[in-house]
A = this chain, B = another copy of it.
């Protein structure tokens, strides 16, 4: 899909954008799944903060994936600020999930996914 866009070149910058868009789209799905899995646990009352953070991170990542997927006439200041928000949300969600990753496998997987997206945002920000 990526290479069929009329205005996208095939350089390294574009590859970093594509990788970050994919990391954000995956993270949005995984955070939605983790929020729901936490909601299904018997000890849901202990996972309220995690559900909250999962929900925010899912929304921010979904928006980031959309904005990075769009290649036509982007506004660089907006892209940068969205990447910073995505990095912050993924970092906070990873920290929360890591704190009970040994009890819940979905939190372990979610924390790893968030760290990958956080890293992808950081690499893209460094290149802009």
Contact = CB atoms under 8 A, between A and B. Distances in A.
Contact of A77 (B45, B73, B92, B106): B92
Given A63-B59, A85-B81, A72 B52 contact: yes
Interface string A97-110: 00000001110011
Contact of A63 (B53, B60, B71, B109): B60
Contact of A52 (B4, B45, B73, B105): B73
Given A6-B40, A62-B63, A109-B1, A52 B70 contact: yes
A72 B45 CA distance: 12
A84 B89 CA distance: 13
Interface of A: 1-2, 4-7, 21, 25, 29-30, 32-34, 36-37, 39-42, 44-45, 48-49, 51-53, 55-60, 62-63, 65-67, 69-75, 77-78, 80-82, 84-85, 87-89, 91-92, 104-106, 109-110
